[in-house]
Chains A and B, each alone.
Chain A
Amino acid sequence: MTTAREHELPAVAAPRVGVPWTLVALAVLLGAVLVGLVVGPVPISAGDIARSALSRLPFLDVSSPLDAAQSAIVWELRFPRVVLGGLVGGMLALAGASYQGVFRNPLADPYLLGVAAGAGLGATLVIVNGTSGDGADLLLPLASFAGGVAAVVAAYLIGRSVGGGRTTATLILAGVTVAAFFTAVQTFVQQRRTDTLNEVYTWLLGGLTTAGWRDVVTILPYVVVSATVLLLHRRTLDVMAVGDEEARSLGIDVTRVRLLIVAAATLGTAAAVAVSGLIAFVGIVVPHLVRLVVSSSYRVIMPLSLIVGAAFLVLADVIARTILSPAELPIGVVTAFIGAPFFALVLRTTRSGA
């Protein structure tokens, strides 16, 4: 039995991603994955790919219609590239959303605290100092990962020494400072060796060209750990929307939580950057797209950014590798070229009535 008093109480629900939006996002991702598998110089139909996929499952009596070469193209070239694109895109979008939340700054992106500049320096050092040999393609991601993490640690330490870790503005300024310094060193190193300029620029603009299962395996643990930590803090980010002082008075240890979220987002971003170079725009456009279209709650923005970011980058990569085929366009060019006008359109439609 409920009393009359209970009937009067308003229904209160915490924000969450509803079933419709989850289905829409997953459908978009599935579509992107299919496009990523089907599109390429060698025509292979979606139906054949589906049957080939089923034939790999145990206990199903389906024979693959693909010959060995086709099978290798789909499962050893296209699929790992699609998966890598999904991991990188999802990670960058989620990290961007996290930075925007934790710094309460709509312009924050995954590279805010200098990950990009640090990773760029690490990668440039490896490229300039010779790329021949088997160890080189392992060294490049490792160096860019280390450079990215080092830059953010430097930014954090500088920011903390100045502002006691209390104000976000000092931390962001420290990030800008560190990024400027690392970029200067990177440019210096790069300009001394004109013969490797092209390679450095190609890396800086981003791409999934070297993708294979090994890249996927390399970054998977980092992405899983980072994404898990960030997603678990989705409600905390909603609380932090009321500012540091009020979040503290609501029981949040703001300094510790900010450090944890920055660390997780940095780890994931550095891993993504290590295998894909600097892919611009995903980390800022995707979270804002979700924010404008669905909800401003981080409990909605974070999971949806992960899925939509993955789909966005998979599709961007399809364009990057087909439009100038057999040459490849740097994927960062595609994300900005497609992303910017699309975002402008969304901004116009959602804000024009407000």
Chain B
Amino acid sequence: MSVVALDSVSVAAGGKTIVDGVSLEVERGEWVSVLGPNGAGKTTLLRVLAGTIGFRGEARLEGRSLGRLRRRDVARLVAVVPQTPVVPAAMTVAEYVLLGRTPHLSPLAQEGAEDRAAAAAALARLELEELAERELGSLSGGELQRAVIGRALAQQAPILLLDEPTTALDIGHQQQVLELVDELRREEGLTVVAAMHELTLASQYGDRIVLVNGGRIVAEGAPAEVLTAERLEALYGARVRIVGEGRELVVVPVRPR
């Protein structure tokens, strides 16, 4: 059974169709990277899966219809690492990670021992122990991204959505974050759906690449099948050369002469 199943999902806002009849299935433990030019509908597609935007069509998480799930139940299935998280600067890392327990608490309750333990485990897993009492406003970009992933991990949801998780990180931290997510995926059995910006990194980490444009899926498959020079030129209006093969693809921009 697919963990995520979208069937002819469409989202319209302000008279404009942002996601247009997308059907997609994701298996348990799979990493699917969603690629596409700016404005292709990547973020909106993730918002459909997170249950934070209305849509037409049918979406199922763990076989349950998304439209019938309560918001809390969705949050127990799906954890989100947003592209640009809203950061309450004076909140400590530990308090922030504890927020991930929200869907497991009854609406007006405070965290119990189990929640504190889950947050502590998430902090330890992301090697955030030293930073636990630091305020979010004082963290570097890479540290902050780990805190955000820590919050998602404390949520203990089987599906992890990442919206361009490496934007604003340098190449070293990009690698660290993606390696970390891949480790979590393997060790915790998570299913990962990630909107990606960086084509080369997407080819290295995704099992499968879904290429979207204008709200539709235009190509889908293994990185080497999907990432071809012709297709990227058509989609991004970019002139590129693909170097390497298999999981070692590099997308090289070619300067027009």
Contacts and interface: CB of A to CB of B under 8 A. Distances in A.
A9 B120 contact: yes
B246 interface: no
Q: Looking at chain B's contact residues, is the secondary structure mostly helix, strand, loop, or mixed? A: helix
Contacts of A242: 85-88, 99
A232 interface: yes
Given A8-B124, A12-B94, A249 B132 contact: no
A250 interface: yes
A248 interface: yes
A246 B108 contact: no
A98 interface: no
Contact of A251 (B72, B85, B129): B72
A8, A9, A10, A297: residue with the most chain B Cβ atoms closer than 10 Å: A10
Nearest to A245: B52
B86 A13 contact: no
B91 A297 contact: yes
B95 A246 contact: no
A235 B104 CA distance: 13
Given A232-B108, A246-B85, A252-B102, A9 B95 contact: no
B71 interface: yes
B130 to A, nearest CB: 9
Interface in A1-22: 8-16
A241 B88 contact: yes
Interface residues of B, number: 44
A354 to B, nearest CB: 10
29 contacts: A8-B129, A9-B121, A9-B124, A10-B94, A10-B123, A12-B120, A14-B98, A14-B110, A15-B95, A16-B110, A233-B108, A236-B107, A241-B86, A241-B91, A245-B47, A245-B52, A248-B50, A248-B51, A249-B51, A249-B79, A250-B75, A250-B103, A251-B73, A251-B74, A251-B75, A251-B76, A251-B102, A297-B91, A299-B110
The 6 A-B residue pairs with the shortest CB-CB distance, nearest first, are A251-B75, A243-B86, A251-B103, A296-B90, A251-B72, A241-B88
Interface of B: 47, 50-52, 71-76, 78-80, 82, 85-88, 90-91, 94-95, 97-100, 102-103, 105, 107-111, 116-117, 119-121, 123-124, 129, 132, 155
Interface of A: 8-16, 232-233, 235-236, 238-239, 241-243, 245-246, 248-253, 296-297, 299
